[in-house]
Amino acid sequence: MRYSALRILKEGLTGNKGWKPVWREPDPKPEYDIIIIGGGGHGLATAYYLAKTYGIKNIAVLEKGWIGGGNVGRNTTIIRSNYMLPGNEPFYELSLKLWEGLEQDFNYNAMISQRSILNLVHSDNQRDAFIRRANAMFLAGADAEYATADQLRAELPFLDYDNARFPIKGGLFQRRGGTVRHDAVAWGFARGADAMGVDIIQNCEVTGIDIENGSCRGVQTSRGAIRARKVAMCVAGSSGRVAAMAGMRLPIESHVLQAFVTEGLKPVIPGVITFGAGHFYVSQSDKGGLVFGGDIDGYNSYAQRGNLPVVEDVAEGGMAIMPIIGRARLLRSWGGVMDMSMDGSPFIDRTDIKGLYFNGGWCYGGFKATPASGLCYAHLLAKDTPHEVAREMRLDRFISGHMIDEKGQGNQPNLH
Amino acid sequence: MIINHPLLGPRDAAEFIYLGDAALIDRPDWQAEDAAEQFHAYGYLRDNVAGPMQELWYHEQGDRSWLVVTRDTLTHEITNVELARDVARNRGRSV
């Protein structure tokens, strides 16, 4: 079933009785070519690109709960490719390019809105660093644009330009950045993968990973044993728990990140605005709610909820840079569990166990990476060699000294 | 979260800096044959426990002591707090 304006018109005139469930609910088969553990955005994207780009269709995506119920269903929906290091930036720029064509590609409305992202600048040093980053972005084919304070005053008059501690001196725009309807990403990839024959199996928890003579042969699940030639972990947030089933320790800690939404307001914020110095970023959803967040809480957690000091810190950051936010009432807040890696960058790699693959460590930036993560993981699974733009995202990069540390913070996950 | 400091009593967790797994007390022997592998594991690999975990908290906005806090990462419940000095001494790490 393809979606189109004509189809909507036809269904509207016939009582909307022709819409069908957009993916099947199959029982697991005894064996697959590839099992993907985790039916989140990345896992579903991996299945989609494996089937579409690499022609491997005998795949199961195993999901403990319902698909898209983890971090792809609980994030602040921002897409961007404003990184600096060569291990990251080409990957994220590929992801942004995939976002730009995604809705046509999988014939699903993901409400991709390239409404821009702005990083605020408060000092000469920060301006120099941001312009350097902009030049690194140009090298990867991305767009970037420096705006002076006067330009910003005209475009975003509601910011506190004369803040005593962090006066706004300018900002770095990426106009192609923006926001996406996050749930639709999971659903669109699921629908596309299902249509190509991928089995999406919900309520199927992986309880063990079968390793025989150093090779991975399949998994144990709450719905029985399933064998596979290759098993692909894709469970960011729970990576430690799943990898432990294979006896692996990872360069990852699980941390909680909170986010917040206000009641719906008339359009006030045109794009995404980040105030890194004050631990605050904000955008406005199509429903009108201000969607904002800040830093992670900073301690290991699998609880999917945070604590009040960070709520206060984020609210203070918002009030400092954007005082109009004080009149908005908070509607809801939530916490998601992040794979915080040792250098703040992710992993798409083989493991030491033959036939077992790992995707994780996305920190708080996994959503924007969804399409490229899926494509690069699919490439690795299909060809057993890393995709060109993900070749530095290796699990052994700490022992070889090839960290991808954008912030230069070292091996302290809660500082990334 | 409230951390019941062994010397100062209940304190807001916001007064503390979080370092991570208390296994960091057990620094490897730099003279061991496989010291490079041991230090890689020590510096970069984590158990990332889901459940009760021993972890190091530093009372920066207090008495600057290091604490070993036993806290459940699934519920945030804190069940035990000790001075890291005492823990390290009991493990033979300090004099």
* Nearest to A75, CA basis, from A313, A289, A334: A334
Q: Is A410 on the interface with B (CB under 8 A)?
A: no
User: What's the whole-number mean pLDDT along residues B83-87?
Assistant: 96
pLDDT at B95 over 70: no
What's the CA gap between A6 and B8, in Å, rounded? Answer: 70
Interchain CB distance below 8 Å, A250 and B1: no
Question: CA distances (Å), B68 to each of A260, A398, B61, in order?
Answer: 32, 27, 17
pTM: 0.96
What's the CA gap between A288 and A301, in Å, rounded? Answer: 31
* Nearest to A103, CA basis, from A208, A227, A189: A189
Q: Which of B14, B37, B45 sits opposite A251 (nearest CB)?
A: B45
CB A193 within 8 A of CB A185: no
CA distance B28 to chain A (A): 16
* Nearest to A408, CA basis, from A84, A131, A124: A84
Q: Is A309 on the interface with B (CB under 8 A)?
A: yes
Interchain CB distance below 8 Å, A253 and B45: no
Q: pLDDT (tens digit, 9 = 90+) per residue, A274-297?
A: 999 999 999 999 999 999 999 999
CB A413 within 8 A of CB B20: yes
Q: Which site among A245, A301, A316, A339 would you substitute to test the B interface, given the most B Cβ atoms closer than 10 Å to its Cβ?
A: A301
φ and ψ at residue A331, rounded to 5 degrees = -90, -50
What's the CA gap between A95 and A99, in Å, rounded? Answer: 6
Q: pLDDT (tens digit, 9 = 90+) per residue, B17-59?
A: 999 999 999 999 999 999 999 999 999 999 999 999 999 999 9
Res A30: pLDDT: 97
Q: pLDDT (tens digit, 9 = 90+) per residue, A146-157?
A: 999 999 999 999
Annotate B20-72 with DSSP letters as a single string: EEGGGGSPPPTTSTTHHHHHHHHHH-B---SSEEEEEEE-TTTT--EEEEEEE
CB A377 within 8 A of CB A42: yes
pLDDT at A407 over 70: yes
Q: pLDDT (tens digit, 9 = 90+) per residue, A341-358?
A: 999 999 999 999 999 999
Q: pLDDT (tens digit, 9 = 90+) per residue, A59-102?
A: 999 999 999 999 999 999 999 999 999 999 999 999 999 999 99
User: Chain B residues with CB inside 8 Å of A411's CB?
Assistant: 43-44
Res B92: pLDDT: 86
CB B17 within 8 A of CB B58: yes
> Rg of the Cα trace of chain B?
14
Res A254: pLDDT: 97
The Cα angle at residue A84 between residues A151 and B40, in degrees rounded to 5: 145
Q: pLDDT (tens digit, 9 = 90+) per residue, A196-229?
A: 999 999 999 999 999 999 999 999 999 999 999 9
DSSP A27: P
Question: CA distances (Å), A26 to each of A55, A59, A198, A233, B76, in order?
Answer: 20, 12, 10, 21, 38
Interchain CB distance below 8 Å, B73 and A252: no
Q: What angle separates helix A182-195 from helix A89-106, to the nearest 10 degrees?
A: 70
CB A39 within 8 A of CB A63: yes
User: What's the whole-number mean pLDDT along residues A100-113?
Assistant: 96
CA distance B8 to chain A (A): 20
